[in-house]
Structure 1
Amino acid sequence: MLISMKDLLSVAKEHKFAVGAFNVSDSCFFRAVVEEAEASDAPAIISVHPSELAFLTNDFFAYVIKKTSNSKVPFTLHLDHGGSFDDVIRAINCGFTSVMIDGSLLPYEENIALTKKVVEAAHTIGISVEGELGTIGSTGTSIEGGVTKIIYTDPAQAVDFVARTGVDTLAIAIGTAHGIYPKNIKPELKLNILSDIAGRLAIPLVLHGGSANPDKEISSAVEIGIQKVNISSDMKAAYFKRCRSLLTEHEWWDPNVIYPDCISAAREVIRSKMELFSSINKAGLFR
């Protein structure tokens, strides 16, 4: 089943688990997410960055929508880090059921104005909206970017932002970064900020940059009040590590010979994240 983010995460919030948002950049990654979600009976979010949307082209999503709509497992098709109103409209035209507008690098009032504009447009047709307040760090290993110096989300400002924009979910900054962390950098989440925000807001909260963080910290974040965790680099790294190995060991060129093992490698990561988020066997809650 294909549902909105609001409907997906309201159940996650009520039952105290999180749903993985897995960035999909081709049909193999899409298969990995859908096949593991169905095997694990776990809800999942098909997340697509604007650069991935441009690569896949609009027509690809007819396949995505048909596949997820016919599944017994709940899915949300989500635009990740939409950078403009045009990005959002394109995703809506492709059939996405959720969009993110990322105005986090704008001055506060401009972020509010842009986010509110997206909310007003999306809500008229039942599409959920995710906003972002504060900034996500960058490891230099992800297309999603980020900033050198993280600006942590201010809990009081988060209350004002949600009230004035009407967003359905809020991505907060508590110390994560996009990509795989270099060996000399060890992420440390400020869970006290999360706890403060979770105590003030009724809407679901989102954690970006979920790859390569210590499992214990992510698990604690879910227990405190995170309902959506974005995963991209961990899954893709496993996929392409297996791909490189196969191409080094064998002189193969048929995709149907090379890619199945790569999909399996990605699925292993996806399942481990679903276990971490406590979302396995939660699809029944939606039926």
Structure 2
Amino acid sequence: MLMNMKELLVVAQENGFAVPAFNTSSCMILKGVMEACHEKQAPVIIAIHPDELSFVEDSFVASVVEEANKADFPVVIHLDHGATFEQVMRAIRCGFTSVMIDASHMSFEENIAITRKVIEAAHPVNVSVEAELGTIGTTGNGGEYGASKIIYTDPEMAKEFVQRTGVDTLAIAIGTAHGIYPKNMKPELKLDLLKVLRDTVNIPLVLHGGSSNPDEEIAQSVKLGVSKINISSDIKEAFYRKCREVLEDEGIREPNAIYPPCIAAMKEVIYHKIDLFNDVDKVRCYQ
């Protein structure tokens, strides 16, 4: 059941759950995500970062489209952190149903200008658009880039940004960072700021850098109105940690012997995130 992000998240916002956006950069990760979401009857966003797309190439997106079309749950194919108009256009051409233009490092006016340009290209072909206001931090060990200094999203600027762009979803900065947090770094979300942002703008809100944050903070952010949470490092960590264990047996070389236990380990993390986001059995909300 393939749809765009606006269609997906309007329902999530109305029904008080968040849809996980799992960064997916291999057929094995895709297999695990789709199996887990089928079992949980949970809507999902397959997120692919431009760096990931440069590795898997456009043909991988065709596989994701095929899997989404035959799925019995809602699926969005989303470009994560598109940095340029050219990256966005490539994604639209090869079948993404949602794109993010991340111009958060630019000035406020430049961010508005490029977001409007992307919307003018995307909306006529039924592709939804996510933008970002404020900056997401970095732990230095994630596959995605982040800022060395977190700039929290200003509610009044967010209101103006949404009004002037007509963007479909907004990624907000309330204290998260990309990657797995090191032991000396404590994640802490500004939930009071989230409350103000939720009361100020009416479109679905997105939380990036959702790996490694305390479960109680993430659960509270969903209750306060976050409709999409990005997860990348957590599922990859589980998959490749198990992969390293399996490959200690030098006699194993067939993919169907190596990858099933890795997928199973990753699925345990996926199940947990789906439960945490209140996404279980939400297929019924789309029927």
| Distance in structure 1 (CA, Å) of the matches to 2:154 and 2:250 | 52
- Deviation of 1:250 (Å): 4.4
Q: For residues 196-220 of structure 1, give each alpha carbon's deviation from its aligned partner in whole angstroms, at most 9, with x where no partner exists.
A: 0000111000000000000000000
- Deviation of 1:185 (Å): 0.7
Q: Which residue of 1 aligns with 2:251?
A: 251
- Deviation of 1:105 (Å): 0.3
Alignment of 1:1-287 (within 5 A): 1-287=1-287
Q: Counterpart of 1:211 in 2: which secondary structure?
A: coil
Q: Counterpart of 1:251 in 2: which secondary structure?
A: coil
- Deviation of 1:249 (Å): 3.9
| Distance in structure 2 (CA, Å) of the matches to 1:163 and 1:58 | 34
- Deviation of 1:286 (Å): 1.1
Q: TM-score, normalised by structure 1?
A: 0.99
| Distance in structure 2 (CA, Å) of the matches to 1:72 and 1:242 | 29
Q: Counterpart of 1:95 in 2: which secondary structure?
A: coil
What runs of 5+ residues in structure 2 fail to find an aligned partner?
Answer: none
Q: Counterpart of 1:209 in 2: which secondary structure?
A: coil
| Distance in structure 2 (CA, Å) of the matches to 1:184 and 1:286 | 42
Query: Deviating runs (4+, > 6 A) in structure 1?
Result: none
Q: For residues 3-46 of structure 1, give each alpha carbon's deviation from its aligned partner in whole angstroms, at most 9, with x where no partner exists.
A: 01001001100100000000001101111111100010000000
What is the one-letter code of the residue matched to 2:265?
A
Q: Counterpart of 2:202 in 1: which secondary structure?
A: coil
What runs of 5+ residues in structure 1 fail to find an aligned partner?
Answer: none
- Deviation of 1:251 (Å): 3.0
Q: Counterpart of 1:57 in 2: which secondary structure?
A: helix
Q: TM-score, normalised by structure 2?
A: 0.99
Q: Counterpart of 1:62 in 2: which secondary structure?
A: helix
- Deviation of 1:252 (Å): 1.4
What is the one-letter code of the residue matched to 1:177?
A
- Once the two structures are overlaid, the 10-residue window that deviates more, 62-71 or 128-137, is 62-71
What is the one-letter code of the residue matched to 2:40?
S
Identity across the alignment (%): 54
